[in-house]
């Protein structure tokens, strides 16, 4: 068996092959052309592990590794850098360091989703991008109306049917160039509305109510779209050892800085699954908005309790973490969501009661 490491960049990959004793076999710079990596690996022993860091274009690299009969090892880039402990950074040092970690059995790897799952993820992820763009445009229109004191419209939703009719009437009261710009923004919003509806229709067609999605739908604040996002981003629940691990992966746990008897909680790390974090935060916001309809539910009381002491944002984070941990348990036990018992302790450290 040989150990292989790839240091992939935008236009090329540096490949390094080493024997189990650490002796370097060869190193080669490979252009990013379809088939180039597979052709290089054809000269290596079948079944050899190939380490590649989690960069933006790892999808096709993993496909070529598998097509060549080798075993891809997707590396947690930040952890690997810390473990290698190199002061200097070069491509050769990176690939040789990855191979050293492989030989030592300490290579920090992450789960590789199957190709079909990677493909399906693009539907909800792209929808999220379009919704974010639409929100930015809507905010700009709101800001434009506020600049000219035209924002006091007697509607709850400016972009509903009645709200858009009133908005078009207000365009005549804006200066000519501002009115033109706002009209263009409104047309972009309407175009994005159509695209988002198209993605939602496609998702409803592709993602049937599987047992996993049915279980997720029992969580508070979770509808079909959020259930699909959570199911696709979590993948196999078996890859998480504990509920806390899933909550950390979803970016719902704070950083902990403890030293000299003092503990300080900071923001979550940047290297989390931001799509999963978005889904749990969206559900937490929905719970916040509708908590008056079910004030005795645990999530409603959790929000109220934390919000009184620490404010809205911390309360949303606490609810999001509860949902992440609850997701672990319902998928692990294959049981529907149940209200926590009064004596249980919540993810924020408070007693649930």
DSSP characters over 22-65: --EEEEEEEES-TTHHHHHHTTSPTT-EEEEE--TTHHHHHHHH
Q: Which of 205-214, 252-261, 302-311, 314-323 has the weakest average pLDDT?
A: 252-261
Residues 188, 285: one domain? no
Residues 43, 129: one domain? no
Residues 202, 257: one domain? no
How many separate domains does the chain show? 3
Residues 319, 233: one domain? yes
pTM: 0.82
Summarize the confidence of residues 334-342 as an average pLDDT. 89
CA dist 117 and 106 (Å) reads: 27
Closest CA to 192 of 237, 235, 150, 137: 137
CA dist 274 and 126 (Å) reads: 13
Confidence at residue 343, expressed as pLDDT on a 0 to 100 scale: 47
Closest CA to 252 of 277, 233, 229, 274: 277
Residues 257, 303: one domain? yes
Residue-wise pLDDT tens digits, 155-177? 888 999 899 999 999 999 999 99
Confidence at residue 241, expressed as pLDDT on a 0 to 100 scale: 95
Residues 236, 165: one domain? no
Calculate the dihedral angle through the C-alpha atoms of 169, 173, 178, 183, rounding to the nearest 10 degrees.
10
- Which range marks the domain in which residue 130 is found? 115-206
Residues 198, 142: one domain? yes
Decide if 290 is inside a domain: yes
Residues 126, 229: one domain? no
First vs last C-alpha separation in the chain: 57
Top pLDDT among 268 and 73 is at 73
Residues 321, 238: one domain? yes
Summarize the confidence of residues 280-309 as an average pLDDT. 94
Residues 142, 242: one domain? no
Confidence at residue 143, expressed as pLDDT on a 0 to 100 scale: 95
DSSP letter string over 149-208?
Answer: T----S-S-TTSHHHHHHHHHHHTTS-HHHHHHHHHHHHHHHHHHHHHHHHHHHHHHH--
Closest CA to 280 of 319, 337, 331: 319
At 102 the three-state DSSP class reads helix
- Give the β-pairing of 24-31 and 12-18: antiparallel
Kind and range of the H or E run holding 78: helix 77-84
At 258 the three-state DSSP class reads strand
- CATH code (residue 54): 3.30.420.40
Strand order in the sheet with 3-8: 24-31, 12-18, 3-8, 49-53, 71-75
Percentage of residues in the chain having pLDDT higher than 90 = 80
CA dist 247 and 187 (Å) reads: 39
- The number of residues in the chain equals 353
**Residue 229 confidence class, pLDDT cut points 50, 70, 90:** very high
Decide if 248 is inside a domain: yes
210-239: b (≥16 Cβ within 10 Å) or e: eebbebbeebbbbeebbbbbbbbbbbebee
Residue-wise pLDDT tens digits, 137-158? 999 999 999 999 998 888 888 9
């Amino acid at each position: 068996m040989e150990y292989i490491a790839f240091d992939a960049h935008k236009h090329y990959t540096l490949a390094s092959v080493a024997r189990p004793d650490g002796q370097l076999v060869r190193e080669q710079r490979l252009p990013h052309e379809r088939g180039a990596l597979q052709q290089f690996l054809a000269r290596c022993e079948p079944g050899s592990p190939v380490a590649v860091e989690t960069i933006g274009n790892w999808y096709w690299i993993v496909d070529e590794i598998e097509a060549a009969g080798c075993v891809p090892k997707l590396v947690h880039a930040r952890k690997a850098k810390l473990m290698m402990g190199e002061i200097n950074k070069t491509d050769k040092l990176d690939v040789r360091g990855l191979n050293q970690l492989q030989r030592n059995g300490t290579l920090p790897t992450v789960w590789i989703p199957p190709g079909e799952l990677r493909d399906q993820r693009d539907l909800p992820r792209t929808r999220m991008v379009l919704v974010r763009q639409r929100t930015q445009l809507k905010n700009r229109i709101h800001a434009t109306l506020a600049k000219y004191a035209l924002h006091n419209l007697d509607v709850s939703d400016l972009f509903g049917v009645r709200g858009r009719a009133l908005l078009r009437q207000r365009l005549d009261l804006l200066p000519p160039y501002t009115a033109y710009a706002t009209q263009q923004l409104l047309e972009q919003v309407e175009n994005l509305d159509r695209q988002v509806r198209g993605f939602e229709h496609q998702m409803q067609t592709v993602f049937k109510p599987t047992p996993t999605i049915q279980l997720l739908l029992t969580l508070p604040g979770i509808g079909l779209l959020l259930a699909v996002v959570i199911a696709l981003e979590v993948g196999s629940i078996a890859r998480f050892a504990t509920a806390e691990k899933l909550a950390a992966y979803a970016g719902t746990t704070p950083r902990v800085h403890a030293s000299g008897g003092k503990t300080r909680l900071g923001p979550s790390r940047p290297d989390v699954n931001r799509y999963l974090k978005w889904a749990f935060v969206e559900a937490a916001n929905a719970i916040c908005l509708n908590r008056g309809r079910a004030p005795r539910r645990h999530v409603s009381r959790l929000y109220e309790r934390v919000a009184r002491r620490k404010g809205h944002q911390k309360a949303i984070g606490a609810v999001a973490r509860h949902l992440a941990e609850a997701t672990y348990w319902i998928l692990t036990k294959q049981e529907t969501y149940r209200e926590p018992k009064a004596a249980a302790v919540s993810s924020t450290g408070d007693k649930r009661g």
